[in-house]
Structure 1
Amino acid sequence: MNTSSSPPHSQTPNFQALTAQAELYYAQGQLSEAIACCRQSLNLQPNWASTYVTLANIIQAQGKISEAINLYYRAIELNPDLSQAHVNLGSMFFRQGKLDEAIACYRKAIQLRPDMAVAYWNLAKVWEQAGKLDEAIASKEKALKLNANLGGVEVNLNQGYKLAEEGKLDEAIDSWQRAITLNPNLAEAYSQIGIIFRRQGRFSEAIKYLKKAIEVRPNYATAHQHLCGILRDGNNYAVARQVVSNYYQQCGEIDPIMTGIYLISTYQVSGLNEIAKDRFFDLEAKLKEDMTIVKKVVDLKALYGNFLFSVPYLRDDIQANSDLYKSVSKVYRQFVLKSQNNHFSTPVNFDNKHPLKIGFISNHFNRHSVGWCSLDIIRELAKLNTEIYLYPTERLKVDDQTQKFSQAVTKLYVPKKYPHGSVDVREIITEIQQDKIDILIDLDSLSLPINTEILHHKPAPVCMSWLGFDAPYISENNYFLCDLHTHPQDRDKYYMEKLVRMPNSFVATSGFQRVETNRANLRKSQRIGLDQIVYLCLAPGRKFNRDLAKAQIAILKQVPNSILIHKALGDIEVFQAAYHQACKAEGVSIHRIKFIERFPTEEEHRSIYSLADIMLDSYPYNGGTHTLEALWFNLPVVTLAGEQFLSRMGYSFLQSLDIKLGVAWSWNEYINWGVKLGQNPHLRQEFVDKLVNSQDSENLAPLWNPKKFAQDMYNTIGKL
């Protein structure tokens, strides 16, 4: 018996020509003629396996599946290595719903021909039918790698989305690259690759792909947004403003919400808050007039996570801000959070028999303001009758501070899935519930919307926000941890969450480390005289404004031989222009303003406090970590206190130190305090002495006592 796919030399080749003719008829839909040719071919050569495959293909097209299966089996009997017969037989079993048999056939075909793209493609369909989506995606990806044309542009594009959803980002990029090969003008593919590169920190590559997406489709809003975001966050301020202006020109009419938000944030980080404020008021007026103009989920997410984040930097009006927070968060909860189909079990109330399990969600268990201000407290909490669990809510940038967190707690969870490069909310919630957390504390509020999404699902009996921002306005059943100085008794009506007030301050730290320097040498290196009064401003672009610059220059005018050092993240040309204008108006030399570049590490940065005599705090958003650092290093601070939480941080810190000096309630008072502390060395020394005494171990101020804070916090939250 001849089982090869080649005829013996003694046979006439007409049977091959007849089989080829049959395939031609089959392709043209002339099935009867095709069958006749196959029969003639088999009469001439009854052991030619390929003819049986062709005949089976034609028969199955007539709906005769069982007969086709017998013919494929006959082909395999004659030639067991004929991969096409195994593939086609698998397809017959798939049509009959016999998935195991189909899988076995496709695997055999792949074993015979590992480069057989169609076998992987068909196997993917079986896996999908069987509900094994991971296997389906892997098989389809293999098929498309072997033959990008197999599914066409749309299939490669969609395959990329599926792979990204699974967190398989490199494979997703490969799929989108194949789609681009098939269609070089595919803006979606360029944009998606750029977005993934951005989330991987590969910014140069991301910019290249995002620019290409915009070149292909000039009004492609998503690509504009991510390009603006990279340049804004990468401190390339002038270029960022050009890019966001182009975004507004191209998409302002079709995308008014997002263009407005990106204009605000880009001008804010530059330090152009007056322009940002005008844009803010424009967008707020539109929302007040008709909130239904917000039609897309992506717009709602941006309004909540980005637009509301900008508010306290631009306006200190607790009633107006509260109204805006409530109106936006209401729509956000209704159309974003409640529309999600994630169903989780309701947590049971904890009992007092086991240690209190406290979970923290944040992306800042590292060298970040939230990390610096929370570590000491978390360490002290861990020494009480507790178990502490940390859950990063973005891909964590691990550093030496992360190691300290990890060593202090019961568990620092590392997420396993990163769909589209982000943490999977469902994974974090499931982990929190499996750990049976009693109290879940969010450290970032709406500055990290994934945290508020977790809070919305209430994975623990008690959920609370604290430290990193104002309350998230997510649930009346949740809590916000604060103090009586930041949130006086009449403030509850402005919030959705229940306010829980700590007895002294909303934060505490055991201090900060710095590179020790000699004050005289440091001043000499900066060409500053030992007898000069040095004011320090650390307000970054978001916290900088012309009112602040005017007040600081007004202080310099009244304090001879004084200078101002400005060291912060933002557009240096914007800072210089604002100070130049203020100096010109007051008749003060611009040379009395000195700009210092940022240092590589926080420890090096903190040496700046030994250079200065007085720190001038920002308003309407006070300094947080910077003000704490200044006070710890015994530097007097002038702070302007307002209505909202974030404009009362400096006031709270000084109150917890029992210091009444330096607190202003208007710009005039701010200027007066700056002048008095600059002109009066005795008053300045009194301030310094109070700061020194606050660190006395025998009478340690609450602000420097994280052990006391942790015990107070434990007692307070334990009652909830």
Structure 2
Amino acid sequence: MNVQSVSNAYQCLLQGNYNQAAMLYEQAISTEPELKTPYWYLGLVLLLQGQVAEAQTTWLMGMVEGEPAQVELWTEELRAILIQEATRRESLDEPAIALSIRQQLAEICPNDINNNLRLIELAIEQQTYTGDELTELGIIDSIGEQRDAVDLDQLMSTLKKILQYAPLHPPSLELAEACVAYAQTIEQASALINILQKAAIETAYIKKCTPMGVSLAELALRLDPQNREILYHLAALYTLAGEYPQGIETAKLCHSLSHEVPDIIFANYLQLKALLTAGGTYWQQAYPINEQQQLLLKSLVEEPATQPTHLQISRLFNANSFVPYLEDQPQAYCEIRNRIAQLCQTAVQLEDQQTVGRYKERHEKRRQLGNLTKPLKIGYLSYCFRSHSVGWLARWVFQHHNRERFDLYGYFVICDPPNDPLHLWYVNQIPNVFKSNSYREIAEQIYQDEIDILIDLDSITLDTSCLVVARKPAPVQVSWLGWDASGIPAIDYFLGDPYILPESAQEYYTEKIWRLPHTYIAVDGFEVNVPTLRRDQLDIPSDAVIYFSSQRGFKRHPDTARLQMQILKEVPNSYFLIKGGADEEAIEAFFKELAEAEGVESDRLRFLPGVFSEATHRANLGIADVVLDTYPYNGATTTLETLWMGVPLVTRVGEQFAARNSYTMMMNAGITEGIAWTDEEYVEWGIRLGKDELLRQQIVWKLRKSRQTSPLWNAKQFTRDLEDAYEQMWQRYLNASFSNFP
């Protein structure tokens, strides 16, 4: 067969004329059977036609009579041809064909580590990757044995895609560990650190698998033990994973390595988060750190030495968010919060003046042309569209929204948890869903969607959401539900009610407090499973009085916990059930020390583990006679659950938003018994409700009756009130001068 015929056959292959190409290659084999190249190409043509068995047979026929050295040479020729065609198909954006070719190559040359790595990438692109391929192809062993053969760029690319696609599969971590040996230079180490750090964050916060996130971050730290960014993330991840001592020590190390004021502030924030979340005996360490934090924040807003970087700004938004857990001084707290928020927003808007200016210009044009005849576009921004307190509470609004009056949009931030029914519910319930981890992408999408009113459900609990609202992508922006107000000037309104904030609060809030007529939150109810707690299981007599408290460690202020011990002391035959995420040893030691100091036997305390589902937790509330609320940070979702289950509650009312949640919920459920305005009243109500069984029964009856009459349990009416507020906000915006809105 001459050179021209071979060329013609290959041209037919390139053109997709496989029958003609096969005929020409068969002729070549018939004419010159000692030439092997036609066998290789004929097999390739058959493979491209979907005839896998025939292709393998053809290749085998070409090699069957060869000596070992010849077979090795011919195999390399075949390998080169298959790689060339696979690469060509990839360049043509035909990954399925490239995958098929590389799968055959993996059988012919099982030790070709670079082909196997690329094969994994193609399987991921085709969404056929299961995670078992790493083991089946022997990739991890090959990486250790074939150091000189591995294409480092290909290895890093494959690792990155595996950690994005299947980080939870055990071999994924094994591959990451094997890759550490390849980081021989500063540049290589830096590239691998970036891959591992990003994967750690996404795995922990998006996939909701914190232990794997911790493992990946620890791997990155091995490459650079004093890398401050890794340590920042690792401190937060340890705390999130419940590894509190490691979180505290890592946060302290971050502090020692931080030198600029914004970085020291962030390191202090990490320490406070770890200490207060651990709770109990760790609390005392938090006070001096908080004092330093207040001084640093004041110095930053009064005498900024240099302009903070973008990363530093993103971390400043919530740098002071733990103060409400420590004290109830909202005026002083809000002053610092507002000034920090102003500093951050100014920096964000200066960073991209053109985009922010474009948004503002569009808003003004829309205001001039606006009317109320079209459905308002309402956008909801949150990372909590999932199994989360905010997710459970906000769902009723989406269920009852009037779809004729409002077009709904959902902007899901860092939110794609696997196997989460509530997340899937939101995805199906909201007609227009946009998911992204980029604040720029989210803000631009909000702008492109021409959202009229943007509702931020996160407040300062997430930096990404802060960065979005600070750019003002929607003409009217509102904070609701997720936390207290943020103080970000771009937020126009903060949704409240007649009780959640005192009238004087407007003096120190930058947002206009929009008070809904009854309550700032309502639900139609909660799902309840079969309880798993019994008195006899806890060795508690049937006639005993059971006090109950279920809160995270950062809500258990020592002063309030001491009041709870005083209540217990004055009520004979009473027990206290304590539950909530915290360091178990620290919480137990903390309460036992307080009990001893107040003269209460420690065997009257019971420490309960968490349960798998929220519905089971609610059912278990039925064991309680009285729930004792926390202060200065009340329960919120836990209070709603308590009232729904018909359990009397004792709460201490304060001045700040966080100290009035239970107050507004009780008022809207028609219950005043148990509302205390001082520490003394808190103890008095706790004792009275413990001793007066008839009063408890009356409250239980009132709570059960309230399910049919209370604004707290009428989410449909609440949604109508909320929608009326939206329309009034929009009308006010249209009527107002752009320069002085709101």
Query: Which residue matches 1:401?
Result: 422
Question: How far apart are residue 267 of structure 1 and its match?
Answer: 0.5
Q: Per-residue CA shift, 1:270-294, capped at 9, x if unaligned?
A: 0133322321111211232344257
2:400 matched to which residue of 1? 380
2:635 is aligned, of 623, 643, 647, to 623
The answer to whether the Cα contact below 8 Å between 1:552 and 1:671 also exists between their aligned partners in 2 is: yes
1:585 Cα shift?
Answer: 0.9
**Corresponding residue SS for 1:279:** helix
- 1:522 is displaced (CA, Å) by 2.1
**Is residue 329 of structure 2 the alignment partner of residue 322 of structure 1?**
no
- Residue 11 of structure 2 aligns with which residue? none
Q: Which residue of 1 aligns with 2:295?
A: 285
Q: CA deviation at 1:205?
A: 5.3
Query: Is the 2:531–2:617 Cα contact (8 Å) retained in structure 1?
Result: no
The aligned residue for residue 27 of structure 1 is none
Counterpart residue number, 2:503: 489
Question: Would you say the 8 A contact 1:382–1:408 is kept in 2?
Answer: no
For residue 369 of structure 1, the aligned residue among 385, 389, 403 is: 389
Task: Specify the code of the residue in structure 2 equivalent to 1:277.
Answer: Y
1:258 pairs, out of 259, 263, 266, with 266
Q: State how far apart, in whole Å, the 2-side matches of 1:637 and 1:332 are.
A: 39
Give the Cα separation in 2 of the matches to 1:576 and 1:538.
14
Query: What CA distance in whole angstroms lies between the structure 1 residues aligned with 2:491 and 2:635?
Result: 30
Partners of 2:490 and 2:215 in 1: how far apart?
A: 45
Question: Which structure would you say has the larger Rg?
Answer: 1
Aligned counterpart, 1:356: 376
Q: 2:316 aligns with which of 300, 303, 310?
A: 303
Which ranges in structure 1 are unaligned for 5 or more consecutive residues? 5-110, 121-140
How far the C-alpha of 1:157 sits from its partner, in A, is: 13
- Partner amino acid for 1:615? V
Matches within 5 A, 1:508-547: 508-517=522-531, 522-547=534-559
1:313-712 equivalences under 5 Å are 313-340=325-352, 342=355, 344-345=358-359, 346-347=362-363, 348-349=366-367, 350-382=370-402, 385-397=405-417, 399-409=420-430, 411-415=431-435, 423-475=437-489, 478-517=492-531, 522-695=534-707, 697=708, 700-712=709-721
Whole-Å separation in 1 of the counterparts to 2:343 and 2:284: 28
TM-score, length-normalised on structure 2? 0.70
Structure 1 residue corresponding to 2:233, chosen from 226, 244, 248: 226
How far 1:412 moved relative to its partner?
A: 4.5
CA contact (8 A) 1:486 1:645 kept: yes
Is the 1:156–1:178 Cα contact (8 Å) retained in structure 2?
no
Match of 2:24 in 1: none
Identity of aligned residues (%): 28
Q: Deviations over 1:523-559 (max 9, x none)?
A: 2232222211111111211111211221111000000
Give CA deviations for 1:27-78 in whole Å, capped at 9, x if unaligned. Answer: xxxxxxxxxxxxxxxxxxxxxxxxxxxxxxxxxxxxxxxxxxxxxxxxxxxx
Give the TM-score normalised by the residue count of structure 1: 0.72
Note closer, same or farther for the CA distance 1:376–1:459 as it changes in structure 2 (3 Å cut).
same
Counterpart-to-counterpart distance in 1, 2:432 and 2:578: 38
CA RMSD of aligned residues (A): 3.9
Q: Show CA shifts across 1:542-593 (max 9, x none).
A: 1112112211110000000001101100111111111111111111111111
Q: 1:252 to 1:462 in 2, by over 3 A?
A: closer
Deviations 1:455-493 (A, max 9, x none): 223333321110011112222661111112112322112
CA distance in 1, matches of 2:391, 2:717: 19
The answer to whether 1:276 aligns with 2:286 is yes
Gap runs ≥5 in structure 2: 5-79, 90-116, 122-145, 730-742
Q: 1:35: which partner in 2?
A: none
Distance 1:563-1:252 versus aligned 2 partners, 3 A rule: farther
Deviation of 1:233 after TM superposition, in Å, equals: 0.2
Residues 261, 302 of structure 1: 8 Å contact kept: no
Q: Distance in 1 between matches of 2:657 and 2:682?
A: 18
Q: Determine the structure 2 residue equivalent to 1:183.
A: 184
* Equivalent residues of 1:541, 1:570 under 8 A apart: yes
Q: Which region of structure 1 is more displaced relative to structure 2, 653-662 or 296-305? A: 296-305
Contact 2:382 2:458 in 1 (8 A): yes
Q: What is the CA–CA distance in structure 1 between the aligned matches of 2:447 and 2:540, rounded to whole Å? A: 57
Deviation at 1:656, TM superposition (A): 1.4
Closer, same or farther in 2 for the Cα pair 1:448/1:289, shift >3 Å?
Answer: closer
Change (3 A) 1:432 1:212: closer
SS in 2 for 1:531: coil
| Matched residue, 1:236 | 243
Alignment-derived partner of residue 38 in structure 2: none
The Cα of 1:679 is off from its aligned counterpart by 1.1
CA contact (8 A) 2:478 2:491 kept: no
For the 8 Å contact 1:510–1:706, the answer to whether it is kept is yes
SS at match of 2:632: coil
Pick closer, same or farther for the CA change 1:399–1:654 going to 2, 3 Å: same
**Partner amino acid, structure 2, of 1:400:** P
* One-letter amino acid of the structure 2 residue matched with residue 241 of structure 1: I
Distance in 1 of aligned mates of 2:393 and 2:210: 29
Task: Give me the whole-angstrom Cα distance separating, in 1, the residues matched to 2:452 and 2:621.
Answer: 41
Paired letter, 1:649: N
SS at match of 1:357: strand
The alpha carbon displacement at 1:661 in A equals 1.3
Please name the residue that 1:79 is paired with: none
- Indicate the SS of the match to 1:359: strand
> Do the aligned partners of residues 149 and 339 (structure 1) sit closer, same or farther apart at CA in structure 2, a change above 3 Å counting?
farther
Partner residue in 2 for 1:197:
199
Question: Secondary structure in 1 aligned to 2:317?
Answer: helix
